[in-house]
């Protein structure tokens, strides 16, 4: 078989996703410097149409929509990353731990995951938001407590297969310690799945953040892609969809799409077995 190594640098899908995701991330990171105005400045003409001064016009509160979009993007990505990474971390830990300790502890952990799966995560979050109005970072961590359950079962299945796989047994036979096996075999083997999980959790978290904000359950003053859509929708009868509604929707879609594509293409790179299948 030719050993033509699969290179991410030559993969159009990966490049596309990397450019889109990178641009969005850059926009979010550099938001405060790029924004022409303070997003909380309410001194502009309400509902002004897009112009050279205000690229995306002005919203009902007299704020510059472009500046607002940059801040919202930043908030949504931050929330997504925090919740997604925490959720993925929990999923990997729970999945691998219960595969290694297939006793009562492991069993209980997996049953807990089953229970959590049965509860629609939006309900407790709505309650939490309504009752305690926690800051966004706490909301993200609370969300992570629900995000791990589904993928932990996936990772557990994979890890269970791995701990009895002959090549892992061989490494153990060679005298590899648990730490060695984790570092050298289990984690690298689970890494591609963890990436997909991360992508799906990022997507879920960003979507959840947008939903909660859309529903007005987050701090109403906090900028978010969801709250922007929510406010914009109130004025759908005016001609604002192209400058007020569409930009956050497109941003949200691109974010989720690029995260998914990146993970998929990287997974292909991680697993040499898939390389010759394209």
Residues contributing to the site for another protein (CB under 8 A): 1, 3, 165-177, 180, 184-185, 188-189, 270-273
Closer CB to another protein, 19 or 169, in the complex: 169
Q: How far is the CB of 272 from another protein (least distance, A)?
A: 5
Cβ distance to another protein smaller for residue 165 or 257 = 165
Taking the least distance from each CB to another protein, the nearer of 101 and 184 is 184
Tokens of 56: 């995306």
In the complex, what is the shortest distance from the CB of residue 86 to another protein, in angstroms, rounded to a whole number? Answer: 27
Which residue lies nearer to another protein by CB, 135 or 272? 272
Min separation Cβ 176 and another protein, Å: 5
Q: Which is nearer to another protein, 12 or 175 (CB)?
A: 175
Shortest separation between residue 78's beta carbon and another protein, angstroms:
33
**Distance in Å, CB of 270 to another protein, minimum:** 8
């Amino acid at each position: 078989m030719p050993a033509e190594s699969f290179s991410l640098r030559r993969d159009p899908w990966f490049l596309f996703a990397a450019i889109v995701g990178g641009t969005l991330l850059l926009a979010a990171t550099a938001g405060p410097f790029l924004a022409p105005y303070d997003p909380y400045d309410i001194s502009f003409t309400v509902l002004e149409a897009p112009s050279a001064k205000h690229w995306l016009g002005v919203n009902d509160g007299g704020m510059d929509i472009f500046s607002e979009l940059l801040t919202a993007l930043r908030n949504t990505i931050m929330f997504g990353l925090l919740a997604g990474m925490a959720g993925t971390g929990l999923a990997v830990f729970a999945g691998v731990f219960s595969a290694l300790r297939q006793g009562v502890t492991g069993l209980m952990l997996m049953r807990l995951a089953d229970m959590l799966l049965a509860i629609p995560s939006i309900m407790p979050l709505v309650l939490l938001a309504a009752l305690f109005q926690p800051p966004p970072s706490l909301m993200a961590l609370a969300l992570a407590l629900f995000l791990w359950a589904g993928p932990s079962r996936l990772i557990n299945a994979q890890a269970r297969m791995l701990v009895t796989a002959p090549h892992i047994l061989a490494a153990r036979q060679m005298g590899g310690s648990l730490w060695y096996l984790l570092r050298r075999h289990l984690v690298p083997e689970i890494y591609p799945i963890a990436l997909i999980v991360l992508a799906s959790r990022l997507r879920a978290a960003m979507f959840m953040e947008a939903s909660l904000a859309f529903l007005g359950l987050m701090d109403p003053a906090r900028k978010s892609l969801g709250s922007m859509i929510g406010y914009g929708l109130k004025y759908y009868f005016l001609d604002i969809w192209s400058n007020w509604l569409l930009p956050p929707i497109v941003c949200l879609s691109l974010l989720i799409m690029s995260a998914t594509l990146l993970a998929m293409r990287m997974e292909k790179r991680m697993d040499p077995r898939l390389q010759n299948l394209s």
